[in-house]
Structure 1
Amino acid sequence: MAALYEGYTLCGVVPAQNQGNSGIRGIEEERDSDHVVVTDSTRCVTLYKVSDQKPLCSWTVKQGQTLTCSAVYNSQTKEYVAVSDNKVIRIWKEEDLLLDKAFKATVSSDVWRVHCVAGAEPVVLFQRGAVRLLDSLLSAPQQPIEEVLAQEEAIRWSTYIVAESQQFVIFITEQKGDSFLYLQRLNPNTLQRYRLEREEPGLSPLSFSASLKEKHIRLLYLYPNGHVYQSVFSVRSPVPTEGADALPLPRSLLLALPVGEGLLEAASALPLDEAHVAVVGVPHPSAGAGKDFLCIWNTNFQTLQAGKEMAGKIYGQVWSFSNKLFIPHGKTLSVIPFECPKSSLASALGKLRQAKTEESKAVASVPSWNTILHGEKALTSKTVETRKTRTNRKSQSAPSLTIDQVLELIKTAPVDEVQQEVERLLSRSEIQDLQPSAGQLAATLVSRSLAEPGFYTASTLAQLVNTQSICHSVCPDLVLLALERKDYFLCQLCLQFFPDIPEAVTCACLKAFISMPDSDAEKVSLEPDSVSFMETLMVGERGQVGSQNGFSPALFDEGSSDPLSGGGTVIVSRAGDEGKTSTPPEQICPVELHKAVLLNEVLLTAYSDTFLLPHLKDLSSQHVVLFLRYLQFLYLKYSQDAFPQRHGLRSPSLSQIMDWVCLMLDAHFTMLVMSPEANGLLLNLHRFVKSQVRLVSELGKIEGSLQELDKMKVKKDVGQYSIEVIELF
């Protein structure tokens, strides 16, 4: 089944005063799927890196000027293109700071949109229906622009599609209640006009979207009565003769969405694949009135696959890039990851059973040691059947319980029986689609564990998490239950496999881990790779003298004589004691091994600093100082040349360590400055942050040098002997 995962905020929006407009004119993909360009409805264009939820660059037109179409990115020239005040085309690059100083050209007619797709030249669609390639338009900006549309005809929507090396501009117009579709081919220029079938009197489509599949363009449009129609036409359709009437465009009803009383005002439907459609602004069938939802519908079986309530007003806008939905609602632009598996009746009902193939792997909770040791030979070898094997065969031949029966069993059966039946269910090779069943099993187990203090199935919950078929949003109480029962192994698995853990839960894990007594930490069994990394880091803490990443634990800023916290430095003996060093306190891990492993999992967890900072303020001063000392220990270990960089093990990166140092300082700045025991620690942190700044600065110089070398043209005619001098600075 399709699924919607936990979303996150990309940026805030400023809705119009009438609250009918989100304040966003458009969102376009930039250089890759992780970069988008957001254009607001007034004056600003902003480039965001989606995974970091951070703006990289922003450009604004002068007061009194207005952006009248969304900016696009030309991947061929690495330039941005936008239109202000309907007629001024602006082109700039990322390094340009001021739009007013970048290139601009005024054209002779009002522009509707500039369209661009990766690998193709941008095209300009004018409000009266004419189309021009951007380069040909800029060669003569004041060239006359013809009028394609009738006087009372206006464009409602447009898009740009490239198919079979052919470029198509598609736009929808409206005239006196009738809707028309124009298909403009470029090179050679041909234009086709279609008439859309009328709906009920007075109803015009709220949204349009188009996609390409197998040389056919699929148009999807949503009406205020909840009807979603599809029209399909070929990219190789015959061109009608000039002066002919518009061709009729047949349609088929895909969905009849429940709209409740009245009509939809702001809604949109967007195809996600062949069988799934994302819909915003349409009421959820089981929710009350006045609530705004994002839903995914399966058009093959008319089923609602996933739904998510959106806080605040939905404006009927939605964009999709690389399995992420971008939705403005209230005063927020949210990014909602989604997944749409291949559509079938079994998956729509949550009972998918795929055929066995050589590549498919059965989910087995208890592997067969006989098969592991002897392979396929074990299947054909004739062995003596003992009483134990006969018992196993008898138990295996017993009828297996269905998912519904196991769910009922969990509610009343004892722990041993529940574990046995769940493991048997998960080990059945015919169950391949674990996502819906695993989520139901985990939620039921957690619900009973919370209600009954004596009931807890640690191994079964860990097995469900290991399937990677559940996430935090499916079972939001699982991590908190594991913390309550002090099941730190399960906490570690959740931090590793859940991509959507909220910042509040991350901070709760941090607080529980750092306050755990060392005696309890020693008894915890954790994932071997993570333990192996910390053992490598902590074994033989000899404090080798060396530098890496721009910092040496033995050498501080030039001219600095401030002692480290605790008064320790790396003391190198004279020649007679060569090879002997003393270990300063900073080179000794301030926390126990297993506690350090769990803290590393927190460092590796995804977060948004905006949402994490308020929760970090709940930590006590003692825990803050201890955590900062551990981060300092990690940084000093990473700074040694002798430190083995074992990337195969689970270990935080240097940038993650530095980010958490900054987070802790931001959250507890006043407390750390006023606390005497933190003075030496702050001096140390200041030194290695300063060393990082110096490192980045030097790397920037190297980058600039390499770029200059790359720009230099190699001389083709070089004699047998030549001397060339290259000046870098």
Structure 2
Amino acid sequence: MAALEEGFTLTAVPLGSGPDGPLGVEQGDKTDQFLVTDSGRTVILYKVSDQKPLGSWSVKQGQIITCPAVCNFQTGEYIVVHDNKVLRIWNNEDVNLDKVFKATLSAEVYRIHSIQGTEPLVLFKEGAIRGLEALLAEPQQKIETVISDEEVIKWTKFFMVFRHPVLIFITEKHGNYFAYVQKFNSRILSKYTLLLGQEEKSVTQSFSTSVHRKFISLMSLSSDGCVYETLIPVHPSDPEKNQRVVPSLLLKSVVSGNARSGVALTILDQDHVAVLGPPLSASKECLSIWNTKFQTLQTSKELPQGTSGQLWYHGENLFMLHGKFLTVIPYKCEVSSLAGALGKLKHSQDPDIHAMTHFVNWETSQGYGLGAQNSEQSKRILRRRKIEVSVQPEVPPSTQLLAAIQKDSEKHIEVELRKFLAVKRTPDFHTIIGDVVIGLLGRYKAEPSFYPRNCLMQLIQTRVLSYSLCPGLMEFALEKTDVQILQLCLQQFPDIPESVTCACLKIFLSIGDDSLQETDINMESVSDYTATIQDGEIEQQTEILQNGFNPEEDNCENCAQELIEKPQAATEESTSCPVTGKRAALLNAILHSAYSETFLLPHLKDIPAQHITIMDWICLLLDANFTVVVMIPEAKRLLLSLYKFVKSQISICSELNKIEVSFRELQKLNQEKTNRELYSIEVLELF
């Protein structure tokens, strides 16, 4: 039995600017991280569990990435090729791809492959293969031609067979297909002619492979809508000979034969395959899982926005382009059995839930004897229990709650919500909560007077929601300027877009103090707020040299002249916090939320000038509002303080450099071998 779980979108940034969608999705250095290569100029590293990007790198204007980026698992670095021949290598700390390692190769690259346990391999468009280390040692080495003229590589896969790397690639020439298998333990390249498809005009549209003991199972999805399997021996009897292999029909009519694009195939395990494409009975594209052992459809999910015909499989996640956005759909495949293939497999039940047995021995019921004297009483009990068994089961609380949302009053909905939250949580609890929130927001849009604030607060506090489960919730709170709901969402949602985060920031900065005073806000993040202010006042009254910087020392007399003329205002401003306690708690919720600097920076440009001098995102804010910060009078004190601090740090670094040089000279003296019978006295000048 197989099941497709609820999918989610990794990012709101459209992908697939090229005609064929993204170039690839490859495993990152960590299990939960993936490299997504767009068909334009960008490579993005995603962490799927957080549904957030960790980094983004782009080649400069005029260049184009021509093969998917991969991770070198031996070094933790990333590798990509742009403009067919230019190879780039970088790591997480690098920002600009134009400044990282560069190697220009002598031939065009088709694909770079990298898997755990071996070095990356580079496959060139003419069929030659090189290890990365040998290629970097001599980038301009001559690359031989393996395939014939007009023969084009269509698909390739890299995997391990008995701990030895094996690379297989499929080529096409005038409608004929060939498979090349390169074994690196023996340096043998074997070639096979594939007799694919049962119709003359059928075209193979997708390939996938898996490895068994003695054979490589090559599956192909043909334009006739069928899946074929071709077995290629791992150890061929005559490696030098071009052998012909015949496929066998594995699955019939899994997609519509009229589909000329948008179809893909990938092997999930030894008995299950995932197929992307429109089924026979529908025109829209679907993602489906088939059982190859029993040739049955296990599950399917409609994709109304269409796909690019690309399907990637890593771990227990399927990646695809749904519309213009990269979508992840987790799946589960159980061990194949006839009952599971027919959908009759009985799942183990929760031990706390006692299922009703099909046969009940009433005579063994507690409180009733086995003798004939109680036979009449037993019959009455039997009749009564038969009536009780025939009664329809009670409607689940979740169903009652969803029904109440459509028509009942807010008070009644709160009652039903409390009933639902009181029962034991089921595995689909988080999806039900998401449906409830969507139902409440949907009714609010239809009835503006309906404002279920208390219900929404209770639902958020279940701590199972995320932004992707209820994307309209934070927009609703922004519209209502409900800072309490926004604070809870910021504290609990792991996948809030940066644009929404900045919208919350604007609300928190612009709302009046009177409104905040009347609002119930969680103050845990500023619980020691008063003590901190008092400590700061005491600290300012003592003259302490911190990090080589004396606040009283001012080397920029001209810049500080205005501040010297107004000592009273300077004292008042330095000893008071620019925001109230409640506003500070809201701003802390913003600062503690998950965000990516790359995507946050453009939205920070919309922050008003009077608000940009009180945030901890000082570097990003300076980047986004540099001209404004330089020009506005309110920022003069901040710029002067930064200038003085940087100047003092430069002085400290200069002195540290002198000490470092002296220590190096001492270390050299200790390492020199001297004659013990002689001695000498040397004077070292440290300064």
**So what's the TM-score if we normalise by structure 1?**
0.63
Indicate the residue corresponding to 1:356 in structure 2.
Answer: 350
**1:327-360: CA deviation from partner (whole Å, max 9, x where unpaired):** 7899x9x6x46351535899xx9xx9974379xx
**1:275-298: CA deviation from partner (whole Å, max 9, x where unpaired):** 68585x87999998xxxx8x7544
SS in 2 for 1:8: coil
Asked whether the equivalents of residues 37 and 71 of structure 1 are also in contact (C-alpha less than 8 Å), the reply is: yes
Indicate the residue corresponding to 1:586 in structure 2.
Answer: 574
Indicate the residue corresponding to 1:605 in structure 2.
Answer: 593
5 Å-filtered alignment, 1:223-234, equals 223-224=222-223, 227=225, 229=227, 231=229
Give the 3 Å change call, closer, same or farther, for CA 74–507 of structure 1 in structure 2: closer
Asked whether the equivalents of residues 152 and 172 of structure 2 are also in contact (C-alpha less than 8 Å), the reply is: yes
CA distance in 2 between counterparts of 1:168 and 1:547 reads 66
CA distance in 2 between counterparts of 1:604 and 1:547 reads 31
Asked whether the equivalents of residues 167 and 183 of structure 2 are also in contact (C-alpha less than 8 Å), the reply is: yes
Among candidates 257, 260, 263, match of residue 264 of structure 1: 260
**1:357-413: CA deviation from partner (whole Å, max 9, x where unpaired):** 79xxxxxxxxxxxxxxxxxxxxxxxxxxxxxxxxxxxxxxx9453533321111112
Indicate the residue corresponding to 1:405 in structure 2.
Answer: 400
Structure 1 stretch displaced more, 192-201 or 590-599: 192-201
Structure 1 stretch displaced more, 521-530 or 560-569: 560-569
Among candidates 159, 162, 184, match of residue 161 of structure 1: 159
SS in 1 for 2:236: coil
5 Å-filtered alignment, 1:1-80, equals 2-8=5-11, 15=18, 20=19, 31=29, 36=35, 50=46, 55=56, 74-76=72-74
CA distance in 2 between counterparts of 1:138 and 1:320 reads 30
Indicate the residue corresponding to 2:494 in structure 1.
Answer: 499
Q: Letter of the 1:5 partner, please give it.
A: F
SS in 2 for 1:431: coil
Among candidates 315, 328, 333, match of residue 338 of structure 1: 328
SS in 2 for 1:187: coil
Among candidates 112, 115, 130, match of residue 113 of structure 2: 115
CA distance in 1 between counterparts of 2:651 and 2:210 reads 47
Asked whether the equivalents of residues 220 and 228 of structure 1 are also in contact (C-alpha less than 8 Å), the reply is: no
**1:36-81: CA deviation from partner (whole Å, max 9, x where unpaired):** 495978xx8x7755566655685999x9xx9876665544467777
SS in 2 for 1:600: helix
How many residue pairs match? The answer is: 604
Indicate the residue corresponding to 1:207 in structure 2.
Answer: 206
Q: Letter of the 2:618 partner, please give it.
A: V
1:428 matched to 2:423? The reply is yes
SS in 2 for 1:338: strand
1:439 matched to 2:434? The reply is yes
Indicate the residue corresponding to 1:522 in structure 2.
Answer: 517
Q: Letter of the 1:554 partner, please give it.
A: P
CA distance in 1 between counterparts of 2:505 and 2:581 reads 15
CA distance in 2 between counterparts of 1:93 and 1:414 reads 59
**So what's the TM-score if we normalise by structure 2?**
0.66
Q: Letter of the 2:551 partner, please give it.
A: A
5 Å-filtered alignment, 1:441-456, equals 441-456=436-451
CA distance in 2 between counterparts of 1:286 and 1:263 reads 11
CA-CA distance at 1:599 after TM superposition: 1.3
- Of structures 1 and 2, the larger Rg is shown by 2
Asked whether the equivalents of residues 209 and 271 of structure 1 are also in contact (C-alpha less than 8 Å), the reply is: yes
CA-CA distance at 1:446 after TM superposition: 1.7
Give the 3 Å change call, closer, same or farther, for CA 125–473 of structure 1 in structure 2: closer
Q: Letter of the 1:263 partner, please give it.
A: A
1:239 matched to 2:236? The reply is yes
CA distance in 2 between counterparts of 1:494 and 1:14 reads 32
Give the 3 Å change call, closer, same or farther, for CA 39–188 of structure 1 in structure 2: farther
5 Å-filtered alignment, 1:613-628, equals 616=604, 619-622=607-610, 624=611, 628=613
**1:163-220: CA deviation from partner (whole Å, max 9, x where unpaired):** 4412111212334434344443331355474736405443323333446799986756
5 Å-filtered alignment, 1:668-679, equals 668-669=625-626, 671-679=628-636
SS in 1 for 2:246: strand
Q: Letter of the 1:680 partner, please give it.
A: R
CA-CA distance at 1:418 after TM superposition: 1.4
SS in 1 for 2:204: coil
CA distance in 1 between counterparts of 2:394 and 2:536 reads 57
Indicate the residue corresponding to 1:472 in structure 2.
Answer: 467
Asked whether the equivalents of residues 565 and 683 of structure 1 are also in contact (C-alpha less than 8 Å), the reply is: no
Indicate the residue corresponding to 2:375 in structure 1.
Answer: none
Q: Letter of the 1:422 partner, please give it.
A: L
Indicate the residue corresponding to 2:197 in structure 1.
Answer: 198
Structure 1 stretch displaced more, 510-519 or 185-194: 185-194
Q: Letter of the 1:3 partner, please give it.
A: E
Give the 3 Å change call, closer, same or farther, for CA 111–665 of structure 1 in structure 2: closer
CA distance in 2 between counterparts of 1:463 and 1:338 reads 29
Give the 3 Å change call, closer, same or farther, for CA 296–119 of structure 1 in structure 2: same
Structure 1 stretch displaced more, 412-421 or 124-133: 124-133
SS in 2 for 1:169: strand
Asked whether the equivalents of residues 23 and 68 of structure 2 are also in contact (C-alpha less than 8 Å), the reply is: yes
Indicate the residue corresponding to 2:539 in structure 1.
Answer: 544
Give the 3 Å change call, closer, same or farther, for CA 501–215 of structure 1 in structure 2: farther
CA distance in 2 between counterparts of 1:403 and 1:124 reads 54
Give the 3 Å change call, closer, same or farther, for CA 276–429 of structure 1 in structure 2: farther
CA-CA distance at 1:132 after TM superposition: 5.4
5 Å-filtered alignment, 1:187-336, equals 187-189=185-187, 191=190, 193=192, 195=194, 197-198=196-197, 200-210=199-209, 221-224=220-223, 227=225, 229=227, 231=229, 239-241=236-238, 243=241, 245-250=243-248, 252-253=250-251, 256-257=254-255, 263-265=259-261, 268-269=264-265, 277=274, 279=276, 297-299=288-290, 303-305=299-301, 307=303, 309=305, 316=309, 336=326
Q: Letter of the 2:637 partner, please give it.
A: G
Give the 3 Å change call, closer, same or farther, for CA 152–621 of structure 1 in structure 2: closer
**1:91-117: CA deviation from partner (whole Å, max 9, x where unpaired):** 87779998999666758xx86544332
Indicate the residue corresponding to 1:375 in structure 2.
Answer: none
Q: Letter of the 2:204 partner, please give it.
A: P
Give the 3 Å change call, closer, same or farther, for CA 616–156 of structure 1 in structure 2: closer
Please give the root-mean-square deviation of Cα atoms over the aligned residues, in Å: 5.9
Asked whether the equivalents of residues 191 and 243 of structure 2 are also in contact (C-alpha less than 8 Å), the reply is: no
CA-CA distance at 1:619 after TM superposition: 4.7
CA distance in 1 between counterparts of 2:329 and 2:538 reads 48
CA-CA distance at 1:161 after TM superposition: 1.0
Asked whether the equivalents of residues 316 and 331 of structure 2 are also in contact (C-alpha less than 8 Å), the reply is: no
SS in 2 for 1:256: coil
**1:660-708: CA deviation from partner (whole Å, max 9, x where unpaired):** 33444455555555543443344445656x479969989x999x99xx9
CA distance in 1 between counterparts of 2:459 and 2:619 reads 35
Give the 3 Å change call, closer, same or farther, for CA 423–134 of structure 1 in structure 2: same
Stretches of structure 2 lacking an aligned partner (at least 5 in a row)? 47-51, 292-296, 353-392, 683-687
Give the 3 Å change call, closer, same or farther, for CA 532–219 of structure 1 in structure 2: farther
Give the 3 Å change call, closer, same or farther, for CA 559–407 of structure 1 in structure 2: same
CA distance in 2 between counterparts of 1:720 and 1:216 reads 72
